[in-house]
Amino acid sequence: MRKTLSFILFLVVLAAGCLETKESWPAVVSEPVLKEAGWVSVGDVQKQSQTQNLGGATVKVNMAVKNYRDDALAMNISDQVKKLTDLTPSQASGATQFTSKLMTVRLVLPAGISLPSELMNKITTSQLEQIASQNNIRDFHETGSKKTSLSNGKEAEVKMYEGLVDFEGGSIKIRGMITTWPDAGSNILVFGILPAEDIAITPGSGKPESIKINAEEESSKMLKLIKNVK
């Protein structure tokens, strides 16, 4: 009922011509939480805008995108590669592409109205396809979901995904987590991906080796970060 009333209010705003959309601001994870998990922020906040058709009108959606990655896991993977192969530190660093990553997106509509579910699903699907493409993930599909409590006391549904990333000599299973919730006149989307199994490699010796990955620990850290996005 509350969502219905919000949507009716949104249509009233559209009819009144009040279509100005305020600038978005980033949804962030605090430095103490990042440091404890061994994660770091990556790059600057990216500001983006999209136009969407809603209620027969074209509206502007402003977004602020922030990226994070598991630096501790990246260094661990690089160290394992150096020990198992004759690669130089620079060459071994290429394997860090398989570290865990998190992206937050804050979306703002005119008048600070929460996004209707249809529009949210459309944007989520678009972002999901973009993430899969950027990270060369194939067969990315939903495998289930779970409820989690956020640091602000709200509850969010986290959808789980799995897919594969091919590399020279093999492939690795990737796990994804996606969730969304309304926040302070905006909506927050959070996307995370992590390696879900050991990485099999064949060094110059010809003997197969494995880069060890603690997938459950990675999943636990990612859920903690998701819970603390504000």
Q: How many domains does the chain have?
A: 1
For the whole model, what pTM was predicted? 0.88
What's residue 157's pLDDT? 96
Residue segments in the chain with a per-residue pLDDT below the cut of 50: 5-6
pLDDT one-digit tens code per residue, 94-116: 778 899 999 999 999 888 888 88
- The whole-number pLDDT of residue 205 equals 72
Query: Domain limits at 115?
Result: 2-227
- Taking the C-alpha atoms of residue 91 and residue 81, their distance in angstroms, rounded to an integer, is 9
Find residue 147's DSSP bridge partners.
157
Give the tokens for residue 192. Answer: 């995370």
pLDDT for 77: 92
Q: At residue 218, what are phi and psi to the nearest 5 degrees?
A: -65, -40
Tens digits of residue pLDDT in 6-33: 455 555 555 555 568 899 999 999 999 9
**Pairwise CA distance, residues 190 & 205, whole Å:** 41
What pLDDT sits at residue 11?
54
Give the model's pLDDT for residue 195.
Answer: 97
- Burial (CB count within 10 angstroms: exposed 0-12, middle 13-18, buried 19+), residue 139: exposed
